[in-house]
Amino acid sequence: MTDIMKQLSLKGKNALITGGNRGIGRSIGLAMAQAGANIAIMDLNSDDAGKTIDDIKALGVKSVFYAGDVTMAENCNQVVSELIKDFGKIDILVNNAGICKNVKAEEMTWKDWYDVINVNLNGVFLMSQAAGREMIRNKSGSIINISSMSANIVNYPQPQCSYNASKAGVSHLTRSLAYEWVKYNIRVNAIAPGYIGTDLTRAQLSTEWGKIWQDATPMKRVGKPEELGGIAVYLASDASSFTTGSIMTVDGGYTTI
Ligand code: NDP
């Protein structure tokens, strides 16, 4: 009989989480650490780097912080080679770093458009390529992209066309890499969250927008970052050995109605 708890364990595996210092990335790091994985975090800003690293180390695994920008190919390659020096091998990559700009299409500057596409889509490709090259050498790996329900629906009432387009790109890049890298035993999946209470959404939650978001969600609330930990551990683990190219929706029912 299959030992499901053993399959779900990440003991001895090494994970790299972009944007892992706060919000959804931090919760995924803590969940994967509880499942036994060593956690490396890559983040733009290292000012408050210690907090999440210390909380992860308190769970009895190794944890390191690397400052880096996912939009810079050389930063992505550098972080992966530092991780190999520190941990020996990369087993799991979580492409979580992301930004959103709520600007009307007709008023959007090229920079506003480009910044969002650059972090959310180009960053996922560059980091996947850097980690993927190592995983190809190892003939093993699991890549988890944090897409969004915005890949499939148009959020309202706020304007965010660059974000929605970037996440549609992330979901289809997920399927494309899953196909290309299946022969190397690398699985590539995505999580598509609905509204989650983090720094990205917090300022709006008490406004009219936040009310509309919660009313449109059958569960009548936004999700907590911790509510994405279980699915991330599953996708990283051997329990999902037949799962690749999948987009897992976790949205309180938002996209079902
Ligand atoms: P937060 O704003 O709380 O955190 C974003 C993280 O990304 C920060 O740690 C930030 O680093 C990091 N980051 C931003 N740009 C870069 C970059 N260029 N290089 C490296 N790191 C970077 O956001 P969330 O936790 O809410 O979002 C995480 C992911 O989940 C995003 O991809 C988002 O699109 C997605 N998502 C979020 C939803 C939500 O409702 N919150 C819903 C659906 C998807 P720093 O701290 O240094 O600025």
Q: Which residues, in sequence order, are CB contacts of 243 under 8 Å at separation 6+?
A: 187, 189, 235
Q: Is the pLDDT of residue 242 over 90?
A: yes
Supply the mean pLDDT for the chain: 97
CA 18–ligand 1 middle distance (angstroms) = 8
Q: Could you identify the residue written with the tokens 């992330």?
A: 170
Pocket flag, ligand 1, residue 163 (CB < 6 Å): no
CA 170–ligand 1 middle distance (angstroms) = 14
Instruction: Give pLDDT, residue 46.
Output: 78
Residue ID of nearest Cα to ligand 1 atom 33: 98
Tell me the whole-structure pTM to 2 decimals: 0.98
Q: Which of 26, 71, 21 minimizes the C-alpha distance to 46?
A: 21
Pocket flag, ligand 1, residue 16 (CB < 6 Å): no
CA 12–ligand 1 middle distance (angstroms) = 26
Atom of ligand 1 nearest to the CA of 118: 18
Q: Is the pLDDT of residue 50 over 90?
A: no
Summarised one tens digit per residue, pLDDT across range 110-156 is 999 999 999 999 999 999 999 999 999 999 999 999 999 999 999 99
Q: Is the pLDDT of residue 8 over 90?
A: yes
Point out the residues that are catalytic. Answer: 163
Pocket flag, ligand 1, residue 47 (CB < 6 Å): no
Pocket flag, ligand 1, residue 24 (CB < 6 Å): yes
